[in-house]
Structure 1
Amino acid sequence: MEILHLFYLFIAGIIAGFINVVAGGGSLLTLPLLIFMGLPPATANATNRLGVITNSIFGVLGFRSKGVSAWPYSLYLGISGAIGAYLGARISMDIPEDIFNKIIALIMVMVVLTIIFQKKSGQDGLAERMGLKHKVAGYVTFFFIGIYGGFLQAGAGFLIMAALVGINHFSLVKTNSAKVLIVLIYTLSSLVVFIIAGIIHWGYAIVLAAGSSIGGWIASRWSVDKGDVWIKRLLVVMVIVLAIKLWFYDT
């Protein structure tokens, strides 16, 4: 059964890694899966982060190989997010298991609603806004996004994309390229908190990370020329099913 779990986790990592780069929300699949495999919510939340990091690394490399980058602005946003992520990660470890499951399920439903009703993901054709006031607005916004990302991570990609599009008018491709670097930086911050706390299941984390790396690399190459509509539709269906199951799941 353990080998079967690892196989499922590896495949889920590939799928989630792909979704994370192209559309966002991959952790909405892997986090519930880790819980259903028997991990306490806090441990599942921490274990999921290694896959997010490796996925982001390969995503960054993939976008750079295509010449797509928002450097150094994305670096500064990531640092701002890392400060918030440290706080969010510490908060997440103090929540009771049954309440944590309910929180995850509710957030999953909220993300589904966001996917359904959100407007176009990128602002192709509009002039980018990179003045001082827009940069400052980005730094402040990403501090709070970092708090959420450190707390849970699931669905944070949608917040990041909305912020980059709304504040800076980035195109879809540039938004995704900035997103993977930002997520990499602030997730490293939260991972340090979880490592110190000793709550990571390293066996599951490594398998998930391997799958996520493959998915992230494929997606970073693919998403330069393709859309994300069909992926979001599929994600909506899967997340609804998992959210319902998680709400009634007895840890």
Structure 2
Amino acid sequence: MTVGEMLGVLAAGVGAGAINTVVGSGTLITFPVLLATGLPPVTATVSNALGLIPGSISGAIGYREELRGQGRRILKLSVGALVGGLTGATLLLALPASAFERIVPVLVAFALVLIVLQPWISKKLRHRERYGDSDGGLLLFAGLTLASVYGGYFAAAQGIIYVALMGILLDESMRRLTAIKNVLVAVVNTVAAIFFLIAAEFDWTAVVLLAVGSAVGGQIGATAGRRLSPAILRTLIVVVGTVAIAQLMLH
């Protein structure tokens, strides 16, 4: 990797760390950059997953105020994230790279529709007892677990899917949902990374550069994201998600 390529990967890490903390889809910044350095797709995916862990943790720490009082909920949902992330990581090494190419844009598009309609749908579902408890019940747990399978496989836009599901099934502000999302992404990335360390090939240079960059970006994203109004945050999610769909379909 040349010096120029190293600087490019570092910058991509900063950008991905920031955008992952606020919205998600940072992988759509780092993945093409890693491919441009000559890394094979699977090696790039694995290196990306390892390198973005510090950014996820950094972002979660940045939203620590919004995490207060959500310990029980986060613990419960993290179990699903752990199982889903490990499953997705296993699928990445077992299935052909093209396996999810058609379904991923559909999943992201569906999540964006849910984000746009969230205020209206939430009003229709005020009586959340039907889902079993204040944590979204089995429906949210199952949905986030499945989203975590995708997250462990590729990760692009998994945060958007998380926020969409939680926004409908939890009576919380966008900032508190973003805080939960950051923790779940950190769980998925970490469990997938541990699996990859044992079973897959990765590039240490790329991992270190992304780790440093994403950790810095996570703090930048947390500072900026906590200042955004729910409407602006929702709009930003839709814009980034739309770009993600376009890039995924053109890939």
Cα distance 1:36–1:178, how it changes in 2: closer, same or farther (>3 A)? same
Equivalent positions of 1:208-219 (< 5 A) are: 208-219=210-221
Equivalent positions of 1:62-81 (< 5 A) are: 62-64=62-64, 66-69=65-68, 70-81=70-81
Aligned length: 240
**Residue 46 of structure 2 is aligned to residue 46 of structure 1:** yes
User: Is the contact between residue 35 and residue 44 of structure 1 (CA under 8 Å) also seen in structure 2?
Assistant: yes
Q: Which runs of 5+ in 1 are unaligned?
A: 247-251
2:239 aligns with 233
* C-alpha displacement of 1:46: 0.8
Give the alignment's TM-score, normalised by structure 2: 0.82
2:19 aligns with 19
* C-alpha displacement of 1:109: 7.8
Equivalent positions of 1:70-219 (< 5 A) are: 70-97=70-97, 99=98, 103=100, 107=104, 111=108, 115=112, 118-119=115-116, 129=128, 132-133=132-133, 134-219=136-221
Which secondary structure does the structure 2 equivalent of 1:72 belong to? Answer: helix
1:33 aligns with 33
Q: Which runs of 5+ in 2 are unaligned?
A: none
User: Is the contact between residue 19 and residue 25 of structure 2 (CA under 8 Å) also seen in structure 1?
Assistant: yes
User: Is the contact between residue 148 and residue 156 of structure 1 (CA under 8 Å) also seen in structure 2?
Assistant: yes
CA distance in 2, matches of 1:96, 1:161: 28
Cα distance 1:213–1:129, how it changes in 2: closer, same or farther (>3 A)? farther
* C-alpha displacement of 1:237: 4.5
User: Alignment RMSD, CA only?
Assistant: 2.9
Sequence identity (%): 25
CA distance in 2, matches of 1:35, 1:121: 36
1:249 aligns with none
Cα distance 1:136–1:50, how it changes in 2: closer, same or farther (>3 A)? same
Cα distance 1:67–1:235, how it changes in 2: closer, same or farther (>3 A)? closer
CA distance in 1, matches of 2:94, 2:44: 14
* C-alpha displacement of 1:105: 8.2
CA distance in 2, matches of 1:148, 1:18: 21
Cα distance 1:37–1:104, how it changes in 2: closer, same or farther (>3 A)? farther
Counterpart amino acid of 1:213? A
User: Is the contact between residue 82 and residue 187 of structure 1 (CA under 8 Å) also seen in structure 2?
Assistant: no
Give the alignment's TM-score, normalised by structure 1: 0.82
Counterpart amino acid of 2:155? Q
